[in-house]
Structure 1
Amino acid sequence: MPEMPLDILFEIFAFLHPRDLLNLARATREFRALLMSRQSARFWREARQQVEGLPDLPSYLSEPEYANLLFFPHCHNCLKPNVHNVLWTFSARYCDGCQVTMFMDQKDVSTLLVEVFDHASFLYVNSKYNSGRFSGLRYHKPEIDEIKRKWATLRDDEEKRRFREERKTFITECQQFSREASEWQTGCKIQRSQEGHKLKVERFEAVKQKLREEGFGEVLDHLRLADLFRLKKLGSVNRPSKLTDKGWKSIRSSVIQHMVPLREKYCQELKQQATQARIRYLRKTLDARQSNGVPRTAESDREPGFFELAMMPAFQTLLRDESTDVRDEAIAAQLDLPGLIETWTNYYKSVFVELTLLGLGESSTTLDLVNLLDLAIVHFRCTRCKRRQLRWPHVLSHRCFRDTSASLMRYVSVDPSFVGYTRFNHDAPYRGEELARFDDHLEVARDIIRLAGLAPDSATYADMQAVGTRFLCRGCPISTKKTAYDWQAAIQHSTIIHSTDGVDPGPVWEPLPSNQAAVVQDFEWRLLARNSQLSELEKNPLNVFGCAQCPWHGDILSMKAHLHFAHPLWAENHSWSEGLYLHEDSKPCGMPTVWMYPSEAPRPDDVWEGFTLRGNTDRGKTEVGFNINQTASTYLYGLLG
């Protein structure tokens, strides 16, 4: 290249950067001699003009010195590389170590500065403030040495005055250049940062395009901002350089390795979203089924709630479906809600059949399994509240078997996905299989059924209700008052008053004559009609009511509040009595109690339509007596409320 014609070299020099010119001058002696000559000044000037925003060359620097200061990051004392801190005021770069040796403390030069510049040295000498451990002004040693040398050569006051003026002009130019150079350097840093950012963005977009070609497009489209940020900050991705095919090959494995867990996470999220959509659809379907205009009744409480339906195998299969089609139409095509309810009911019917067979023991071998739960001898008890004589299908609605309270949830393995949709106790897991037991009054029930003239192994609940036999207890102490029981009340009386832990108690019951039983039944129905009126039911604070608009239960006061706040639109157009029903747990076991008094018993004073009122009894109830006929030897009294 040095042997090339000068005109060609000069053409080349016109397009070079100042850094390139200085590197070329340092390459060979020939280039050094050429580029350091005065006739090459225009090449340096033209090179400088190609650098946007570069301050003009200060008068105290040559072109090569200026290029060296601007574009070569090495220490000007020890030549240590990567020194980016430029001291523009002193036109020098120093590493941390050389900054200590190349500057002098004020105390070391104060005598000289006072002698030369009096007390106005700041006008004539560059300095920098040291904010470190040893704070104070520090002075550039080469500059102090030059001042000392020059001052020693001055002969008279005029020369000294001119020297001071020259120094003042020099300091002004240095400070002006320092400001301009600092601004240019800051602008260069901003520009480099912007260019680097642009290259990083372009590289990131190129990496994403490569990942799309690798099959990660859908994952990228649904990445969370945090995951996208982590991908962007990968060391192999976050570089200010364009991505080439060769470069992609070198980083592909690390980027793919980073994306595989994100794809697995995305697939899992898709499954969870599909699961949640199907769970929401089940909840929405149950709500829609409730809001179809048909009010709930006590029979509605026998149906499975949300949790039970969600845990059924058919719905669990739907949840495990790999399809991500979560449109209502697609879910509805796979979800048969009436079928799920029927399947659930049949399952628990088989559970209670098994429980019955276990309780009956060997005697169950001759029974009709199809109608087993309809038999009058089949009752169940709750191990939680100790209630007896629960029958099928009442056991499906017993409130102890469904409860969302924390005290019960710890006994149940609950899927966290379902908890938020379990709004009512009715929606909670059904625990009848765990808490129900076969009632141990079997022999008592058999005796009472025989007294009614039916076979215990074949008599059904409906048969016993139809036969109409009423019973008197011979096991109770003799008194003027005898109580007439229907068959269910008789069983309850035996298990509570004459309990023998399941052992045959012997003959304690006798049937009431049919003519008296008929009158008792008529009186029972009169009492039942009165006791079933809402005005009577709401007097008992223990009665539980159900909401006809949703699966909510509570006492009469909380039910009124619930209807007002939970169903305000409905409550505006309906009486609150239309919005509730008596829960099966609050319905009496058997017919109302009727007492029989001998004819010589004192007659009550007030008679109204054949009923005799006798104030409040010791049980806080009202006795209502009815004279069978004017010549009969017996009065009947019923317990109201």
Structure 2
Amino acid sequence: MSLPADLMMRVCRFLYPRDLLALARTSKELRAKFMKETSKPFWNATRYLTGMPDWRTVAFPQAAAMVYESECQGWSCSEESSVMAFHVCRRYCLKCAQENLLDLKEVLREFPSVPEDLVKRLPWTARRTPVPSTEKKRFYLKSDVQKFCQRWDALKPLDGKGMDDLGQELSAFRRHRGTSTKEVQNWYKQDSRERQKRLNQRWTIIADVMKSRWGWKPIEYDRLGLRLRQIVDHLLDVPTLSEHAWAYVRGDLEWVIREEARLHSRDHDTRRFSLSVPPEKGKA
């Protein structure tokens, strides 16, 4: 990044996490920079704007990506996520969830050298599908297991006391993760409600303006056509719904509303349709 760190810090104080994520998506270099642990001061500067608690044991770039993005976080996957595994801080599509969230049997089959008792002390989630498993299974994050395997290989062999100490350390880590996860979950639910309320208010304003200026006939958001929805989504995302924001989309918006009205009138044309040629004037 060409900006000095102190200047970038000042900029980040005015950016929300989703804005910093959008900035990070503009290039691979920025993405790599903002997803590193060294970028924590920048993320903390944005976190203060939202009041989001510090998600202890979770790097904030990862936490922000899970909370504010909807894409799957599987390696090189760009699908929409359908599984939100909050306790291990991951969003996955169904395919990546199967690959990255392992139950105990799958862990022991793929990593046979790790002790079962210690694996059970790692953070886990009940979510590998959009709905929790009816079997009440625990699923462990594959990358967590891999990191534990590396540490286990470096420490073994351990005597009884060493095993007990390591087990207590893992249990303490999971407790800290669980406590901070609960704090973030509560904040996330409240923030989601407030964001939805703001979106509903913004959508009402947008619909009223389109109706008064261009004669648009209001319909529910879910029934919007693709192009009109893209324009509306842009207006929902802009920081301020100013005249400049309306001017930016006016040309496209007028065309889409006019085109949708034309198609609507054609679909509701009640005139009788016939292939017969009408008689010429003066002829029976």
State whether TM-score is above 0.5: yes
Partner residue of 1:176?
179
Looking at structure 1, the residues matched to 61 and 189 of structure 2 have their Cα atoms a distance apart, in angstroms, of 22
Q: Report if aligned partners of 1:128, 1:139 keep a CA contact under 8 Å in 2.
A: no
- CA deviation vs aligned residue, 1:33-73 (integer Å, no higher than 9, x gap): 699585x64332112112x2422132x23343333333343
* The one of 86, 106, 109 aligned to 2:104: 106
SS in 2 for 1:93: strand
Residue type of the partner of 2:43?
W
Looking at structure 1, the residues matched to 197 and 45 of structure 2 have their Cα atoms a distance apart, in angstroms, of 26
- CA deviation vs aligned residue, 1:499-531 (integer Å, no higher than 9, x gap): xxxxxxxxxxxxxxxxxxxxxxxxxxxxxxxxx
What displacement does 1:106 show?
3.0
What displacement does 1:102 show?
1.8
Residue type of the partner of 2:211?
K
Q: Report if aligned partners of 1:124, 1:168 keep a CA contact under 8 Å in 2.
A: yes
* The one of 197, 200, 203 aligned to 1:200: 203
Partner residue of 1:252?
258
Q: Report if aligned partners of 1:89, 1:177 keep a CA contact under 8 Å in 2.
A: no
- CA deviation vs aligned residue, 1:464-487 (integer Å, no higher than 9, x gap): xxxxxxxxxxxxxxxxxxxxxxxx
Q: Report if aligned partners of 2:108, 2:116 keep a CA contact under 8 Å in 1.
A: no
Report matched runs for 1:361-372 at 5 Å.
none
Q: Report if aligned partners of 1:85, 1:94 keep a CA contact under 8 Å in 2.
A: yes
Looking at structure 2, the residues matched to 30 and 253 of structure 1 have their Cα atoms a distance apart, in angstroms, of 40
Between Structure 1 and Structure 2, whose CA radius of gyration is higher?
1
Report matched runs for 1:69-84 at 5 Å.
69-81=66-78, 82-83=80-81
> Quick check: which one's strand share is greater?
1
What displacement does 1:170 show?
1.4
Partner residue of 2:168?
165
Distance 1:35 1:12, change over 3 A: farther
SS in 2 for 1:232: coil
Partner residue of 1:140?
141
The higher relative CO (CA closer than 8 Å, separation ≥ 6) is in 2
> Quick check: which one's helix share is greater?
2
Looking at structure 1, the residues matched to 185 and 261 of structure 2 have their Cα atoms a distance apart, in angstroms, of 40
Partner residue of 2:48?
49
Q: Does 1:68 align with 2:69?
A: no
Residue type of the partner of 1:235?
L
Q: Report if aligned partners of 2:70, 2:81 keep a CA contact under 8 Å in 1.
A: yes
Partner residue of 1:117?
117
- CA deviation vs aligned residue, 1:415-450 (integer Å, no higher than 9, x gap): xxxxxxxxxxxxxxxxxxxxxxxxxxxxxxxxxxxx
Looking at structure 1, the residues matched to 267 and 32 of structure 2 have their Cα atoms a distance apart, in angstroms, of 59
Query: Across the two proteins, how many residue pairs are aligned to each other?
Result: 241
Looking at structure 1, the residues matched to 30 and 199 of structure 2 have their Cα atoms a distance apart, in angstroms, of 38
Looking at structure 2, the residues matched to 29 and 261 of structure 1 have their Cα atoms a distance apart, in angstroms, of 50
Extract unaligned runs of 5+ from structure 2: 236-240, 269-284
Partner residue of 2:87?
89
What displacement does 1:167 show?
1.0
SS in 2 for 1:139: strand
Residue type of the partner of 2:89?
S
Distance 1:186 1:257, change over 3 A: same
* The one of 219, 224, 230 aligned to 1:232: 219
Partner residue of 2:273?
none
Identity of matched residues, %:
17
Extract unaligned runs of 5+ from structure 1: 215-227, 263-641
Q: Report if aligned partners of 1:77, 1:94 keep a CA contact under 8 Å in 2.
A: yes
Q: Report if aligned partners of 2:66, 2:89 keep a CA contact under 8 Å in 1.
A: yes
Looking at structure 2, the residues matched to 210 and 260 of structure 1 have their Cα atoms a distance apart, in angstroms, of 23
SS in 1 for 2:140: strand
Q: Report if aligned partners of 1:13, 1:43 keep a CA contact under 8 Å in 2.
A: yes
TM-score (norm 2): 0.63
Report matched runs for 1:118-517 at 5 Å.
124-128=122-126, 136-152=137-153, 153-154=155-156, 155-210=158-213, 231-233=218-220, 235=224, 239=232, 241=235, 245-246=250-251, 247-255=253-261, 258=264
Partner residue of 1:390?
none
Q: Report if aligned partners of 1:117, 1:124 keep a CA contact under 8 Å in 2.
A: no
Aligned-pair Cα RMSD in Å: 4.3
Q: Report if aligned partners of 1:151, 1:160 keep a CA contact under 8 Å in 2.
A: no
Distance 1:25 1:97, change over 3 A: closer
TM-score (norm 1): 0.32
Looking at structure 1, the residues matched to 30 and 75 of structure 2 have their Cα atoms a distance apart, in angstroms, of 27
What displacement does 1:16 show?
3.1
SS in 1 for 2:126: strand
Partner residue of 2:271?
none
What displacement does 1:205 show?
1.6
